[in-house]
Structure 1
Amino acid sequence: MNELIVQDEQSLNELIKRVRAAQAKFATYTQEQVDKIFLAAATAADKARLDLAEMAVSETGMGIVEDKVIKNHYAAEYIYNAYRDVKTCDVVETDDSFGVEVLAEPVGVVAAIVPTTNPTSTAIFKALLALKTRNGLIFSPHPRAKNCTIAAARTVLDAAVKAGAPEGIIGWIDVPSVALSAAVMSGSDLILATGGPGMVRAAYSSGKPAVGVGAGNTPVIIDSSADIKLAASSVLHSKSFDNGMICASEQSVIVMSDVYDAFKKEIAYRGAYFLNAEEIDKVRGTILINGSVNAKIVGQSAPAIARLCGFEAPESARILVGEVESVEISEPFAHEKLSPVLAMYKAESFDDALKKAEKLVADGGFGHTSVIYANEHTAKDKIAAFGDLMKTCRILVNTPAAQGGIGDIYNFKLRPSLTLGCGSWGGNSVSENVSVKHLLNYKTVAKRRENMLWFRAPEKVYFKKGCMPVALQELKDMGKKRVFIVTDEFLFKSGFSKRVSDRLNEMGIVNTTFSDVQPDPTLASAKKGAAAMRSFEPDTIVALGGGSALDAGKIMWMLYEHPEVDFADMAMRFMDIRKRVYRFPEMGKKAYFVAIATTAGTGSEVTPFAVITDETSGLKYPIADYELLPKMAICDPELMMSIPKGLTANSGYDAMVHALEAVASVMSSDFANGMAKEAIKLIFEYLPVAYKNGSDETARAEMAYAATMAGMAFANAFLGVCHSMAHKLGSYHHLPHGMANALLLNEVMRFNAAEAPAKMGTFPQYDHPVCLRRYAEVAELVGIKGKTDEEKFEKLLDKLADLRKEVGLPESIKAAGVPEDKFLEQLDKMSRDAFDDQCTGANPRYPMIAEIKQMYLNAYYGKEGK
């Protein structure tokens, strides 16, 4: 390729075209090809480290050759070692179980701004990063360091091309200027900027993505617990390195008063020259020009700076130290100095030291680096306080700042880099040491995967007529001593709850009964019960009754074990119970929870659900979390022989809706469906019998089992919008929950059965609308025949309507006695609240509020929407 001399905008545009063409070819290279090139380039740079160091000092007049050799060596060796095995091509990460592939691609052409302070090591560093990531690179050198920067770039380029890289993959501006620097930034795809604040600001304002770094003004605290020899040696080692030109190097030390003299003596012994008052004033007047560091002192030796200031310092002086007091911006010593000039402050307390360090960072070093020397074992609190207070992205402990900040020398988890991000504090886009990841675009290929499902039930579920006394024997076998019984007023006054308390008394287990649970239990009632529990201190809670008593018992259990919980937090909605914002605390540490059902409907004895009423608003809130799942469930049909007809109908139909919504749910599974479908079959067969003849033992038993199976089904598949609407219909118009569900079921099923709904439920297992087929399968299960799924579905709706009539439930909300004016007045708010109910999320068809409103209207007037 012909040599191109870039000295104006036309030649620069030609260079950009060449590099872009080379990069397009380079982007097709394999990881093996790239790694071969990366090795060759690093090797060549490493071999040229001394020559390049000599060129840099000769051209810029800054720094120390021997130290620049270390920088060049570091830029080649440490960067190669850090990224030699890192994948940067094509697929870099795979997780087949989650269906994810991450692919890395180059960003394109990178504009590299190189400072005069580190002209060759920065060039090596940026060139190697670009080659490892298959990017093209164009250098914009500092005018005072252009020859050595270009020499470093050429060294890397020649080795890379010889190893197979496209010719022209790295380029540079031969005659640098502010205009050409701006042009290369605007013509690139990404800017990698290292330089003064003005240059970095220009990069960020260029209109192109930029990775730039901010100014450093590193403060160092020397705590009373510090190893003084280590601290003094480290500070001197860092501050004198390459005459203080690394931006992370120490600018001020803040020494605790009780170790001040010892530190001063130690650092002076090792080569620090302490300025007298007159010399401090002379240096103070030389450090800055117009508020910025004087270029004449940058990278110069301590004796040279002294001569520039008009006095002599020993040739052995490695750094100049000014003992000053002010940390205000008006004090020149409080600034970044990019030279072996160090400010030293005395702190009367650790808080004083922290305040001084915080001020120094705020006035010139936001986001960069800060250091503390302290005993890691005895001064943990001080180190933690320092880390909390410092707004710097590198907080170094017992580490020389210059060599420690660049990483991988004194801490092997800090990425090696010669471009140190300062985060938003320093006006930067990155807050870490810049690495290969900042020069890559990552594409994530996310393949569809189904969520893990589950089937969770109480540890023990006992069933069969007469099982309760036998099941309760478990409590004695478990060594339980004190049982708190939660029930409702009717079961207590009728003596029904004595079946439990008598059995406990027989076993010698102390017990007490709380019976102040009303239908639609309130939070106030639950709090009252929890207070009684705290007085009694039970190791077991037995909730006996229908859904109200069982739900109230669960909330009391929660408040007893964790009185700190907030009801509003527990009632928070979730999309996925595993990812909910609020995490329920672990239950069962104080008390073992036993649920005994006395009605065949709610299934609360086997579910993680509890419906509680906010007494201030009157609204019902379904609370769900597996921490609320009872530890033991007892389903004894003998306890259900005296259920009145109305309760039999309402609770039985509630169980039917549980089962049908579990089948339709987006989280439906074979495990839940097995329970749900068996429950549906039993309810169709035995609910009419139990309703008409409450003493029929078979019917009562089968309904008890059906309700519990339906409960286990929806405990794992969850419910749908029928329950959402029923919760609000019941709370707004005081209808029994089972009745509210019965009045809405057919309308919701017709809504869900749409083959092309406006919106589908969101869950990976539910990949297309299948509700019609699911309902048809239910129809087939209960003996319905038809030529099409539509015909079977319509016959299933008719069968459900017939069941509703057979057990004496009304045909419409209006027929249930809800006044039309009151219903219409509250319809909009009720529809909105139903949409926001916890159960809505698992519905197979995602409802709009207007659609919920229309379903309410259809159900009110008894006209199913079609």
Structure 2
Amino acid sequence: MAKRPSASTVQLIDTVEALEAKIARMRVAQEAFSHFSQEQVDRIFHAAATAANKARIPLARMAVEETGRGILEDKVIKNHYAAEYIYNAYKHTKTCGVVEHDEALGITKVAEPIGIVGAVIPTTNPTSTAIFKCLISLKTRNAILISPHPAAAKCTIAAAQIVLDAAIAAGAPEEIIGWVDTPSIELTNVVMRDVDIILATGGPGMVKAAYSSGKPALGVGAGNTPVVIDETADIKLAVSSIIHSKTFDNGMICASEQSVTVLDSIYDAVKDEFVRRGCYVVKPGQELEALREAMFKNGALDHRIPGMAAAKIAELAGIEVPAKTKILIVETTSTDPEKEEFSHEKLSPVLAMYHAATYEEAVQKAEHLVLAGGPGHTASLYVHPSERQKIALFHDCMKACRIVINTPSSQGGIGDLYNFGMLPSLTLGCGSWGNNSVSENVGVKHLLNIKTVAERRENMLWFRAPEKVYFKKGSTPVALAELKDVMGKKRAFIVTDQFLFKNGNTRAIEAKLDEMGIQHDCFYDVEPDPSLTSARAGAAQMRLFEPDVIIAIGGGSAMDAAKVMWMMYEHPDADFEDMAMDFMDIRKRVYTFPKMGEKAYFIAVPTSSGTGSEVTPFAIITDKETGIKWPLADYALLPNMAIVDVDNAMTAPRGLTAASGIDVMTHAIESYVSIMASDYTRGLSMKAAKLVFEYLPASYERGAQDPIARENMHNASCMAGMAFANAFLGVNHSMAHKLGAFHHLPHGIANAVLLTRVMRYNAAEAPVKMGTFSQYPYPNARAAYAEMARFCGIQGVDDAEVFENFISALETLKDTIGVKKTIQEYGVDEAYFLETLDEMCEQAFNDQCTGANPRYPLISEIRELFLDAYYGREPQSYEV
């Protein structure tokens, strides 16, 4: 292996000053290398791997001669593996520039080198580890500075020199690989101090030093691989595999087996097979103690032992064994490293052997050995492949990052020889169990900084409504005819409240069901504020009746209660606390609602023109024992059919007409300015608002005497419901929910007294915080309000004037239908209001509706809005 003179060999790196100067030159080289293309890097990577591969035999010979450890032929294999397998694994891997791009998601990932890699090389694998680390550094456009083990410096530097020369010939900068010529603790500390990342392979002390250096480190812990041989295992396969692994380079691979635990039922057979294959079982007593004394000094492995042949170790102990003995087997019982040195990592062809009465006991012993001597490294099991439960128990119990089954652990652990999904590596991470930063085989990805370039993208939106929405006066019996003619339904369950039941609102539906021969039952105990108690009672009645269709008739309360009963009927074990969990994005929520409709088809028939519940995925239920309201929101709760027939809503009283009508307006306005609004929802919002302006006064004043006004309000309610079912609402509703919960204001009235104040708050051009959603680019609520106002016929010279005229028109509408100006005017006690104010504010902030508001509210701002609405104060400026 003739060397050509290079900058790396002109000056010996044997002092701190020389090393610091070397590092400075390497930084210049790495900076230049960082701009190389993937094509240039791959050419260098190929040339370096080829050169290392060609030198595998002389490098192996150098390693054996210099260290006096291991087996020449096996070191040849390790060098071959480090060159060929590493090249093959990464030859097509992108490591330069853009390595990944997803146009749809707007994500680009860009690979950048880390800088200078500090590589500490062990005496056990001095040339193969050097080749491996140099190659993955070159592939990732990093420089690498090697600190060899003093007992293997010459062969380590020779390996690095060969890779460097080939890399330079292929176009790499001359100083891209460097090394310390005369290793010392002082110089190794400088390497760790001045490089950008440390790739440390060696003893626990060195690895700990790397992690303590203050620099990112990829250090790997000690191995103490335990093996379990189950009674279902192929004994010949197991024993031959263990010998193949344990004798490879005289046991210096850190993943090699250190102990074997065998079930009693096959113990003698396994022991005999080991002997038949050329192993020697150390006799208990004098021989065992002599071996212990030869191998361990003060409880630690003697430095001469790693890589020494079995016969040579026996000779040190004065034990006579055949010259070609493969493994020395020590039968022992204790797995405690404080009591039994043979339970340690031995890095030599010496194997501890344990009994186990049961498989579970064998696993426990293996688990203890892993934790005691090599946490996180490797564990091995021999078992019949069909014994999946035993395999599962083993991998569940082992605190090891590599679990190899029916495989020589040395060759299996380094990857790509007996398995083909584990990347090849000569640096094996042990995870947190071994105090390592990685739990896998180290490779090129660990030497890259990946920059993620994320371009703004808009979320996919949706528009979801019931499968069928029937509308027009008199449509109820026509729509219900489908139950028999199309669906073949046989049993209908009606949910309503006592007032509607006694008032005869269900009779026409019951008559139609009778006409079609569909059996029916009715639950009519829904309260105005539906409770969990009544929902459970209704669900219990459902389970007895076993309906295949549920018909909810009423306002929001009846429909909410019916939705909850539907859920309980189909999924009795549903957890309301989980279902009511708040979410930021309904598609990403933690809780997944169960699928609905497998037992019963759900039909919603509104009798008031306000909530829009017949077309929304929302329901609110109250646990009166705890006082907790469970707001449920999920498209699983969306009715299958809505029948929007004004015949079912013709007799609503004036108070309800006013409250529900202004609720419709609030739904329309809030859904229009929601950060999740879209062209699909805005059209519905605008039309609903226009209908409310045109028809609510007449519906309020004339009631059933003006069926056209009533019908248009009924349609407006449904359209606004579809809009907010998809765009959601805002802080107006969040605050109204709390006024209702704490002070029992009707929901529509609570919305009404807040509406124009919240609109002014949202219309600020420079709010303290805006809502967070990719579709919402900047504060634009005022322009949105003005756009809606113009559609409703309200004009002005600019958006500001149109907005003010919109506010005036809404105040006039509220006056027309008898909405009072303040919360106080509704009889809410001042002292109690102030006492509950802080809790209301916090709960309103945390309400599910708040997240879609165009202005993200501070709790202090919600407080001021509440106080303004209570006292009727002139609103302050809501600009920053």
- Give TM-score, length-normalised by structure 1: 0.99
Q: Is the 8 A contact 2:300 2:341 kept in 1?
A: no
The CA distance in 1 between the partners of 2:57 and 2:831, in whole Å, is 93
The answer on whether the counterparts of 2:310 and 2:327 sit within 8 Å (CA) in structure 1 is yes
2:403 pairs with 386, 395, 401, which one?
A: 395
- Pair 1:859-2:833 in alignment: no
Amino acid aligned to 2:654: K
SS across alignment from 2:402: strand
Structure 1 residue 282, shift from structure 2 partner: 1.9
Q: Distance in 1 between matches of 2:126 and 2:823?
A: 82
Q: Which amino acid aligns with 2:854?
A: P
Match of 2:434 in 1: 426
Letter in structure 1 aligned against 2:259? S
Residue 778 (structure 1) aligned with residue 785 (structure 2)? no
For structure 1, which segment, 286-295 or 845-854, has the greater mean C-alpha deviation from structure 2 after superposition? 286-295
Q: Which among 718, 721, 730 is matched to residue 731 of structure 2?
A: 721
SS of match in other structure, 1:453: coil
Is 2:218 the counterpart of 1:189?
A: no
**Equivalent residue, structure 2, for 1:474:** 482
Letter in 2 for 1:423: G
Tell me how far apart the structure 2 counterparts of residues 843 and 664 of structure 1 sit (CA, whole Å). 8
Please show how residues 351-750 of structure 1 align to structure 2 within 5 Å. 351-377=360-386, 379-476=387-484, 477-616=486-625, 618=627, 620-695=629-704, 696-750=706-760
Contact 2:577-2:630 at 8 Å conserved across structures:
no
Instruction: State the AA in 2 paired with 1:258.
Output: S
Q: Write the letter of the residue equivalent to 1:706.
A: A
C-alpha contact (below 8 Å) 1:221/1:357 kept by paired residues: yes
Q: Distance in 2 between matches of 1:622 and 1:390?
A: 44
- Displacement, 1:621? 4.2
Quote the Cα distance in structure 2 between the aligned partners of 1:746 and 1:616: 36
Map 1:836-855 onto structure 2 (within 5 A): 836-855=846-865
CA shift, 1:618, in A, is 4.0
Q: RMSD of the alignment, in Å?
A: 1.1
Measure the CA separation in 2 of the matches of 1:165 and 1:304: 45
Gap runs ≥5 in structure 1: none
Q: Distance in 2 between matches of 1:611 and 1:865?
A: 31
User: Which residue identity lines up with residue 394 of structure 1 in the other structure?
Assistant: R
Contact 2:376 2:433 in 1 (8 A): yes
Residues 161-211 of structure 1 show CA distances to partners (whole Å, capped at 9, x for unaligned) of 000000010000000011111111101100000000011011011111100
Q: CA deviation at 1:820?
A: 2.0
* 1:827 match: 837
How far apart are residue 620 of structure 1 and its match? 4.1
Asked whether 1:44 is paired with 2:46, we answer no
Alignment partner, residue 263 of structure 1: 270
2:316 equivalent to 1:308: yes
Counterpart Cα distance in 1 of 2:834 and 2:417: 75
The separation in 2 between residues aligned to 1:209 and 1:485, in whole angstroms, is 67
Contact 2:580–2:630 (Cα < 8 Å) also in 1: yes
The separation in 1 between residues aligned to 2:780 and 2:369, in whole angstroms, is: 66
Instruction: Give the drift of 1:439.
Output: 0.5
How many residues of Structure 1 are paired with residues of Structure 2 in the alignment?
A: 865
Task: Report the alpha carbon displacement of residue 237 of structure 1 after superposing the two structures with TM.
Answer: 0.4
**Counterpart residue identity of residue 805, structure 1:** D
1:128 aligns with 2:135: yes
* Residue in structure 2 matching 1:296, options 296, 304, 324: 304
Instruction: Give the CA deviation at 1:246.
Output: 0.3
Shift of 1:150: 0.3
One-letter amino acid of the structure 2 residue matched with residue 311 of structure 1? I
Of stretches 121-130 and 499-508 in structure 1, the one that deviates more from structure 2 is 499-508
Question: Percent identity among equivalent residues?
Answer: 61
CA distance in 2 between partners of 1:526 and 1:667 (Å): 32
Shift of 1:524: 2.3
Q: What is the CA–CA distance in structure 2 between the aligned matches of 1:798 and 1:617, rounded to whole Å?
A: 42
Equivalent in the alignment of 1:793: 803
Q: 326, 333, 343: which is aligned to 2:342? A: 333
In the aligned structure 2, how far is the partner of 1:13 from the partner of 1:282? Answer: 48
TM-fit CA distance, 1:500? 2.0
Contact 2:576/2:630 (8 A) holds in 1: no
- The answer for the alignment partner of 2:233 in structure 1 is 226
Residue 497 of structure 1 aligns with an amino acid whose one-letter code is: T
Deviation string, structure 1 residues 475-498 (Cα, Å, up to 9, x no partner): 223122222211111111222112
Partner Cα distance (1:735, 1:36) in 2: 76
Say which is worse superposed, 608-617 or 564-573, in terms of deviation: 608-617
Summarize deviations over 1:240-297 as a string: whole Å, max 9, x none: 0000000000000111111222222222222222121232222222232223211221
| Structure 1 residue 831 displacement after superposition | 1.3
The alignment status of 1:146 with 2:153, answered yes or no, reads yes
State how far apart, in whole Å, the 2-side matches of 1:481 and 1:341 are: 78
Q: Which aligned pairs between 1:3-82 and structure 2 lie closer than 5 A?
A: 3-82=10-89
Tell which deviates more after alignment, 265-274 or 601-610.
265-274
- 1:350 pairs, out of 350, 354, 359, with 359
- The 3-state SS of whatever aligns with 2:373 is coil
Secondary structure of the corresponding residue to residue 181 of structure 2? coil
Contact 2:686 2:792 in 1 (8 A): no
Cα deviation, 1:69-113, whole Å, max 9, x if unaligned, reads 000000000000000000001111101111111111111011100
Cα offset, 1:347, TM superposition: 1.1
Q: Is the 8 A contact 2:603 2:641 kept in 1?
A: yes
Contact between 1:287 and 1:333, CA under 8 Å: does it hold in 2?
Answer: no
Distance 1:519 1:287 in 2: 84
Q: Any unmatched runs of 5+ in structure 2?
A: 1-5
Query: Match for residue 3 of structure 2?
Result: none
Shift, 1:669, TM fit: 0.3
Task: Answer whether contact 1:619 1:731 (CA < 8 A) is retained.
Answer: no
Between 1:228-237 and 1:559-568, the stretch displaced more is: 559-568
- Give, in whole Å, the separation in 1 of the partners of 2:317 and 2:523: 89
Shift of 1:23: 0.5
For 2:755 and 2:440, locate their aligned partners in 1 and report how far apart those are by CA, in whole Å. Answer: 58
What TM-score do you get using the length of structure 2 for normalisation? Answer: 0.97
Partner amino acid for 1:32? E
| Counterpart contact for 2:121–2:147, Cα < 8 Å | yes
Whether the aligned pair in 2 keeps the contact of 1:654 and 1:741 (CA below 8 Å) is yes
Q: In terms of mean alpha carbon deviation, does 215-224 or 501-510 score higher? A: 501-510
Superposition deviation, residue 591 in structure 1: 1.7
